């Protein structure tokens, strides 16, 4: 149990930090070990964390799900889509979830969020979305105590980020919880001191990554709203084309927000714009002897963090560091695509309207 819990908190919870490690280990896990699994909230949350911990462990160290022409699949663990890792724990949680799913508590939000993460790990996207809608609905009933204050903020912004991602990618509807965005402060990641979380942050900078993801999410929303507004203005004008107002100046003004975001990134998670697979450039092996990068030297300040060579054994980084970096950078480049997407549309559908200054 401790191994699976550690596997979860060292991976999933650094990517989606809405759970408190110290509280789970000292209260929830202690109760489950002493009393066994029951139909209470602690048992459901523990089983879901064990399921995701198994996903994280098998995903890094399990056998490849398939071998094609001698090349092992990059996806590890389980038996393909029919038997993903952690399924036994997840099924046990689902047997008990009906006893507690109507509770109005922070744990209820966490339970649905954990359920959604498991569905997401199995590529069950609609089930993932439905579970996140349940988490968002449960969050609106919270009042919260001082001790839970930062965790409630974390839960809100986790739900908001997931909802926004599904809305931008698949145009799925947003819940009314999104109307509270301007009233909810960003989390400060304040909780009971936990040495494991502190050490993980020193090596992977997960708090800086998550704060940057939240800021990038707001920029994506602004870009989407700005493009929609320009499109409406074009549709309501006397122009023959709804996209005539999507000028280079207008789109570049939206894209400039991304430039500002990059400039404000903490130096520990910066990367060269023209080298998206590199390690952050500030790391120094003399100052950080326990550096995550095993090959970093002063002569090679920006070695590759990722490789596309399938014949090489991939490097295993602690704390899902490579996944954490990939998520942040992928969202950034997707946001750039969003900003310049009107140009792509214009070129494909209205090439006759392209002018010398109309596209970058």
> pLDDT tens digits for 305-329?
777 777 777 777 788 888 888 899 9
Give, in order, the Cα–Cα distances in Å from 212 to each of 31, 242, 262, 335, 360: 35, 34, 9, 13, 27
CB 118 within 8 A of CB 55: yes
Vertex 246 angle, CA 359 and 239, to 5°: 120
pLDDT of residue 285: 33
Give the count of alpha carbons within 13 A of 237, CB side only: 14
The Cα–Cα gap between 325 and 6 comes to 20
Query: 105-114, 181-190, 238-247, 349-358: which has the highest mean pLDDT?
Result: 105-114
88 CA to centre of own chain: 25
- Residue labelled with tokens 């899902």: 320
Whole-angstrom distance, CA of residue 222 vs CA of residue 214: 13
pLDDT category at 296 given cuts 50, 70, 90 is very low
Q: How far is CA 138 from CA 11, 102, 115, 133, in A?
A: 25, 8, 13, 9
Which range of 292-301, 303-312, 342-351 scores highest in mean pLDDT? It is 342-351
**Residue range 278-297: mean pLDDT, rounded:** 48
Reported as a pLDDT band with limits 50, 70 and 90, residue 293 is very low
Mean predicted confidence (pLDDT) in 263-269: 87
pLDDT for the residue 252: 81
Q: Which residues contact 79 (CB under 8 A, 6 or more apart)?
A: 65
Q: Mean per-residue pLDDT for 44-73?
A: 87
Determine which helix (DSSP H) or strand (DSSP E) holds 113, and give its type and residue range.
helix 106-121
- Those residues whose C-beta lies under 8 Å from the C-beta of residue 249, and which sit 6 or more positions away, are none
| Whether residue 65 has pLDDT greater than 60 | yes
What digits encode the pLDDT tens for the residues 198-209?
888 888 889 999
CA–CA dist 218, 50 (Å, integer): 32
Cα(158)–Cα(136) distance, rounded to whole angstroms?
A: 9
């Amino acid at each position: 149990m401790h191994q699976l819990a550690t596997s979860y908190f060292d991976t999933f919870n650094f990517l989606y930090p809405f759970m408190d490690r110290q509280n789970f280990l000292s209260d929830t896990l202690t109760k489950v070990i002493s009393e066994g699994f029951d139909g209470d909230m602690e048992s459901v949350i523990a089983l879901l964390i064990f399921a995701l911990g198994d996903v994280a462990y098998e995903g890094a160290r399990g056998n490849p799900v398939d071998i094609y022409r001698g090349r092992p699949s990059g996806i590890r663990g389980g038996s393909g889509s029919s038997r993903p890792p952690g399924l036994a724990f997840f099924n046990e949680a689902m047997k008990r979830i009906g006893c507690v799913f109507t509770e109005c508590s922070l744990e209820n939000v966490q339970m649905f969020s954990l359920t959604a993460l498991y569905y997401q790990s199995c590529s069950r996207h609609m089930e993932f979305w439905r579970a996140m809608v349940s988490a968002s609905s449960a969050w609106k009933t919270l009042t919260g105590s001082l001790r839970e204050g930062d965790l409630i903020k974390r839960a809100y912004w986790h739900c908001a980020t997931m909802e926004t991602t599904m809305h931008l990618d698949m145009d799925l509807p947003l819940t009314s919880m999104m109307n509270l965005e301007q009233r909810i402060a960003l989390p400060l990641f304040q909780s009971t001191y936990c040495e494991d979380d502190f050490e993980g942050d020193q090596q992977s900078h997960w708090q800086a990554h998550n704060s940057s993801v939240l800021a990038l999410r707001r920029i994506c929303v602004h870009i989407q709203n700005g493009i929609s507004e320009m499109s409406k203005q074009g549709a309501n004008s006397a122009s023959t084309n709804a996209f005539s107002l999507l000028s280079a100046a207008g789109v570049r003004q939206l894209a400039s927000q991304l430039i500002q975001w990059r400039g404000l990134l903490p130096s520990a998670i910066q990367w060269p714009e023209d080298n998206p697979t590199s390690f952050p450039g500030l790391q120094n092996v003399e100052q950080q002897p326990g550096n995550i990068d095993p090959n970093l030297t002063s002569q090679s300040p920006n070695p590759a963090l990722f490789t596309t060579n399938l014949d090489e054994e991939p490097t295993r980084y602690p704390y899902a560091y490579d996944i954490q970096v990939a998520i942040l950078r992928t969202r950034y480049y997707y946001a750039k695509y969003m900003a310049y997407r009107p140009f792509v549309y214009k070129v494909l559908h209205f090439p006759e309207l392209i002018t010398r200054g109309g596209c970058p």
